[in-house]
Amino acid sequence: MAEYTVVGKGLPRIDGPEKATGRAVFTVDLKLPGMLHGKILRSPHPHARIISIDSSAAEKLPGVKAVITGKDISAVRYAFVDTPRYPADERPLAVDKVRYIGDEVAAVAAVSEAVAEEALALIKVQYEVLPAAFTPEEAVMPGAPVIHENTLEGTSAWEDWGAAGRAGDYRDEVDINNASARSAISFGDIGEGFRQADHIREDRFETAATAHCALEPHAAVASYDPVNGKLDLWLSTMGIFLKRFVLSKALKLPISKVRVRHSYVGGAFGGKIDVFPYEFCAAYLSMKLGRPVKFELDREEVFTTTRQRHPITVNIKTGVKKDGTIVAQDIKVYADNGGYRGSGAIVVFLCHGFSFPIYKVPNYRYEGIAVYTNNPIRGPQRGHGAPQIRFAIDSQLDLLARDIGLDPVEMMLKNVRHKGDILPNGDRLTRCGLTEAIKGASEGVNWAAGRRQFVSGAGTGIKVATAAKGSGKDGTRFRRGVGISVCSMFSGAMYYPFASAAMVKLHDDGSATLFTGSQELGQGCYTTLAQVAAEELGIGLEDIRLVAGDTELTPIDLGSFLSGGALVTGNAVKLAAADARRQLLEVAAEILEVRVEELGYKDKQIYVRENPAKSIPYGRAIQASIFRKNGNPIIGSGSYKGYPETDRYPSLAKGKGLFTSAYGFAAQAVEVEVDTLTGKVRVLRAATFHDCGFPLNKTIVEGQVQGCVSMGMGQALSEEIVLEKGQLFNASFLNYRLPIATDTPETLDDVVESLEPNGPFGAKEVGEGSVAGMLAAVANAVHDAVGVRIYSTPITPEKVLSALEG
């Protein structure tokens, strides 16, 4: 293996000291001269028609500068997905109807938050309350209230970028009431597959809506310069170029007149990639008033009106041979995307995208349907579909293994894909560390010794087969068990802006500045990308400075979603640094009067390999370049596409096209302890083996995995958005139970270094996948411990206890 000096090390983050001292500036920290504060009036009804809005009293309140409603901006429409098949269905402020509790109705800009809030109370809205639907089951019923009755016309934002496929009315394809999207994919012969099976089972699994819980609330600051017609934005976001694209269209500004500027992002986890009404309103009001405007959502608004993970129902039927080989799998997914489509069309595609890269299933049928309801809007959340689909598939795999008397680890190993496999859509697994990951994770929880080996008996109850080895004094109250699950994630994909580019500028002291449009939101991209540049240039991490997260100063970037940061942006940075190094070596070759091929470089010195004494420091070569090459100070550039081998994004509806050039994989095993008296489950140990190709920064990779494990454990055991007729009941950290420090299990995390040939230094995805395996791992471990199966997340004490008593 290659010897590296900068990448692969657990170097401290370059943004660490700034964040440790409180100097790091987040969007919520910004205060501009003359800045106004915005607030949003929201719907109290899950579904209602707006009859009238009277904002005259609010406008007269001293300190109020403007009040806007849907009427002012009725032509504006945008969404995370905007294609001819799935035209954008969101508006910054409701025009005709409100579709969930929290839907935006009016916005106020005032001299202070308090005045803005007071103004909201003075806006009179007359509603006609409409019947509502709160579950996909209700919503798809004939005669259910129609949540979006209008036919949306017009070009979609994505058409500029080749989204317009064939002409035609796509809506006919989904002839289901309130369906917002459908993905249908199959291969092999499903009927024949089930005929070959020795054993078939059919199960239904449900996952809860969950919250991202990024600590920094969503916020936006907009500052419009009316003289130059230029808009500056500071957004707590994961993708500055995607936001610029959508907002410039919505605001009808030339894209180059919209600048998203840098501020740190206090966590995102998928919840800050959609364009939100408060962002549009901040920009619109700043343009209207010629003053900076800031919106900062409160915690209840963040929980309710930004995005949540899709609650999903999975019906899954799988046929296996006696030896555990999967021969057929039929999956049907229903996702509740809430009042607007959000990422509904994507999540039902991704439930397939994160299902099929794992097990070889020769005969497969998948149908995913996203449905409008009058619940809050759902969007991407870490893993986006993976936790839901992996919970279903691997919970059922565990059940199948029990049915036929196999060890689930053995059954997984029998069915998983391997390096060299070509997926049905054409994606190639150039590397695949699933087998090593499964072995590592299962050994990490002492699988053979830890497993209690329950065998389900012909549909009857489960018998506790062996004496409990729990730690309770009575020996039986606390029971332990182990479980395992596997997961996968893309490493970037073809999604706007489809590529990342980077620049590297060398300085005459031999150091460099890296320009990248990626955005630091905690994942450590500034550090890992600087490491990539430093390694490629042959300089130290301390020799790199970074200009990032600014659409004016940096070239385009895919953004920090779809887990493309390491592979796509990493490659762009590596190419930019290599380009700069090439130019540097050319100058050195000229000075040293040798051919470039004869040169080596180390410690900021370029030397002749045959005669190392003949050398020149980087700084001098750069100076010489300025003298000799018409002042060229050496600027390297590089770019890399989301998927180099295609120029189209995949069809969400048909699952055709190439998805990603490298899949990240992980296996996760846990040991749990179940209190049979209370039903409470505790994760004692969690072992994750993540095939991230190559860890560009070991400490950061471990941190990503540990964060995923914690979030996955929370979603397995306690996290749940509680809704009653569309009203959110637990919109606070106290009532939304995310893990706190004392919940932390003993964690073992390791990487499988599969060295992805498409990735920079072999790196691929690490930041998302490892949420997904935790759900089924915990459910399977609970089954192992106490012999009951919980089919829905979160696995609460109530559910465990009622299953134990049932």
Residue 647 CA to residue 641 CA, distance in Å, equals 9
Sheet containing 97-98: order of strands: 97-98, 48-54, 124-129
Is 34 one of the binding residues for other proteins (CB under 8 A)? no
Omega of the bond prior to 497 within 30 degrees of 0, cis?
yes
What minimum distance in Å lies between the beta carbon of 623 and other proteins? 32
Q: Which of 51, 474, 741, 806 binds other proteins (CB under 8 A)?
A: 741
Query: Is residue 699 a contact point for other proteins (CB under 8 A)?
Result: yes
Q: Considering the complex, state which of residue 210 and residue 325 has its C-beta at the smaller distance from other proteins.
A: 210
Backbone angles phi and psi of 299, in degrees to 5: -60, -35
Q: Is 293 in the site for other proteins (CB under 8 A)?
A: no
Q: Is 768 a catalytic residue?
A: yes
Place of tokens 């590596």: 574
Residues within window 704-733 making contact with other proteins, judged by CB under 8 A: 706-711, 732-733
What strand order describes the sheet that includes 363-372? Answer: 179-187, 363-372, 326-338, 312-320, 199-207
CA distance 262 to 265: 9
Pairing state between β 293-296 and 36-42:
parallel
Strand partners for 513: 505, 545
12 is a contact residue toward other proteins (CB under 8 A): yes
Report if residue 20 touches other proteins, rule: CB under 8 A: yes
Q: How far is the CB of 17 from other proteins (least distance, A)?
A: 6
Cβ proximity to other proteins, 79 vs 238, nearer residue = 238
- Point out which span in 215-223, 463-471, 640-648, 668-676 binds other proteins (CB under 8 A): 215-223
What residues between 510 and 529 interact with other proteins by CB under 8 A? 521-524
Choose which of 28, 133, 147, 251 interacts with other proteins (CB under 8 A): 28
Least distance between other proteins and beta carbon 706 (Å): 4
Work out whether 298 is an interface residue with other proteins (CB under 8 A): yes
**Beta partners for 202?**
317
Residue number with CB closer to other proteins (381 or 569): 381
* 450 within 8 A of 670, measured Cβ to Cβ: no
Binders of other proteins among 744-763, rule CB under 8 A? 744, 747
Q: Measured from the CB atom, is 639 or 744 closer to other proteins?
A: 744
Which of 442, 525, 493 lies closest to 766 in space, CA to CA? 525
Q: Which is nearer to other proteins, 711 or 716 (CB)?
A: 711
The minimum distance between CB 107 and other proteins, in angstroms, equals 20
Q: Which is nearer to other proteins, 200 or 738 (CB)?
A: 738
Q: Helix (H, G, I), strand (E, B), or coil: what is residue 69?
A: strand
**Smallest distance, other proteins to C-beta of residue 115, A:** 13
Question: Is 117 one of the binding residues for other proteins (CB under 8 A)?
Answer: no
726 is written with which tokens? 């569309």
Q: Given candidates 86, 224, 234, 269, which one binds other proteins under the rule CB under 8 A?
A: 269
CB of 269 to other proteins, least distance (A): 7
10 Å CB burial of residue 521 (0-12, 13-18, 19+) is buried
Quote the distance between the C-alpha of residue 731 and its chain's center.
21
Contact set for other proteins, span 395-424 (CB under 8 A): none
Interatomic CA distance for residues 342 and 562, integer angstroms: 16
Q: How far is the CB of 375 from other proteins (least distance, A)?
A: 23
Torsion of CA 251, 255, 258, 261, to 10 degrees: 130
Q: Give residues with Cβ within 8 angstroms of 111, minimum separation 6.
A: 36, 37, 63, 65
Binding mask 676-695 for other proteins (x = CB under 8 A): --------------------
Q: Does 266 bind other proteins (CB under 8 A)?
A: yes
The nearest distance, CB 28 to other proteins, in angstroms, is 7
Under the binding rule (CB under 8 A), the answer on residue 213 touching other proteins is yes
Indicate the residue among 27 and 156 with the shorter CB distance to other proteins.
27
What is the C-alpha to C-alpha distance for residues 749 and 441, in angstroms, rounded to an integer? 8
Interface with other proteins includes 121 (CB under 8 A)?
no
Q: Any residues with CB less than 8 A from the CB of 542 and at least 6 apart, and which?
A: none
Under the criterion CB under 8 A, does residue 215 sit at the interface with other proteins?
Answer: yes
Catalytic residue among 113, 768, 798, 805: 768
Please spell the DSSP secondary structure of 211-265, one letter per residue.
----SSPPEEEEEEETTTTEEEEEE--S-HHHHHHHHHHHHT--GGGEEEEP-B-
Distance CA 491, CA 511 (A): 30
Number of residues in the chain: 806
CB of 518 to other proteins, least distance (A): 14
Tokens of 662: 């490298």
Q: Which of 10, 168, 226, 612 binds other proteins (CB under 8 A)?
A: 10
Residues making contact with other proteins (CB under 8 A): 10, 12-13, 15-26, 28-29, 31, 212-217, 264-269, 298-299, 521-524, 699-700, 702-703, 706-711, 732-734, 738-742, 744, 747
Residues belonging to the active site: 768
